[in-house]
């Protein structure tokens, strides 16, 4: 199996996983930026619910969004956590903290994704567990929130990791004229 970067993805299931956290845009090397873009394109075009609801997408769609995410990295407000297996980007996730004191005790999880060739190996779960530790131990957060696309099984995935559904925006996401989904609101607390 290959992806847009041309990397052949043949991973043994027992490969070591390295987690790397980025807190500054300057931490992100051009090669990693390229991998993030390629991963997001691959995940979206494989049907993943990671922020682009209308596949297919290409570089022109994804690159400006990745650049915006990376430009916001800040040790106090935004973290990028990447998972690498045998030197290859296997998945990633973003944690944002609101700068306003009223809600500064919680963070929001965005864009959790695992490259399809690496799925079924616990990488997404590992990223969520590590992000929870970062939120609690490094940022002093008390809870995490996220919004997930209904109908994808994401409620069950996050539920197995301790998250609970706190509400839904019914029929909030119109993917096609005959495909309208709920947006599922979830919380992880305490951390």
Delineate the domains of the chain, giving CATH numbers in brackets. 17-142 (3.40.630.30)
pLDDT at 6: 37
In total, the chain counts a number of residues equal to 191
Residue 161 pLDDT greater than 50, yes or no: yes
Provide the mean pLDDT of the chain: 93
The residue with tokens 């991998």 is 35
Pairing mode of beta strands 106-114, 143-149: parallel
Q: How far apart are CA 130 and CA 20, in angstroms?
A: 10
Cα angle: 130, vertex 1, 125; to 5 degrees: 15
Contacts with 27 (C-beta within 8 Å, 6 or more apart), sequence order: 73
Tokens of 69: 């995410």
Q: What is the pLDDT of residue 25?
A: 98
pLDDT digits over 29-52, tens only? Answer: 999 999 999 999 999 999 999 999
- What's the predicted TM-score (pTM) here? 0.91
pLDDT at 11 over 60: no
Confidence bin at 9 (pLDDT 50/70/90): very low
Q: What pLDDT is recorded for position 140?
A: 98
Q: How confident is the model at residue 15 (pLDDT cuts 50, 70, 90)?
A: low
Per-residue pLDDT band at 3 (split at 50, 70, 90): very low
Tokens found for residue 18:
């390295």
- Asked if 92 contacts 83 with a C-beta cutoff of 8 angstroms, the reply is yes
For residues 163 and 147, is the Cβ–Cβ distance under 8 A? no
Element (H, E) at 58: none
């Amino acid at each position: 199996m290959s992806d847009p970067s041309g990397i052949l993805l043949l991973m043994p299931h027992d490969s070591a996983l390295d987690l790397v956290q980025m807190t500054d845009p300057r931490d992100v090397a051009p090669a990693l930026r390229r991998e993030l873009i390629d991963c997001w394109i691959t995940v979206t075009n494989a049907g993943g619910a990671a922020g682009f609801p209308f596949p297919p997408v290409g570089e022109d769609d994804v690159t400006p969004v990745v650049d915006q995410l990376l430009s916001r990295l800040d040790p106090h407000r935004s973290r990028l956590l990447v998972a690498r297996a045998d030197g290859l980007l296997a998945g990633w996730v973003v944690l944002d903290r609101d700068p306003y004191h009223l809600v500064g005790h919680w963070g929001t999880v965005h864009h959790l994704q695992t490259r399809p060739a690496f799925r079924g190996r616990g990488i997404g779960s590992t990223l969520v567990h590590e992000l929870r530790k970062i939120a609690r131990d490094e940022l002093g957060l008390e809870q995490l929130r996220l919004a997930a696309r209904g109908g994808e099984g994401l409620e069950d995935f996050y539920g197995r990791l301790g998250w609970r559904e706190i509400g839904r925006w019914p029929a909030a996401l119109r993917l096609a004229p005959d495909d309208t989904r709920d947006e599922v609101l979830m919380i992880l607390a305490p951390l």
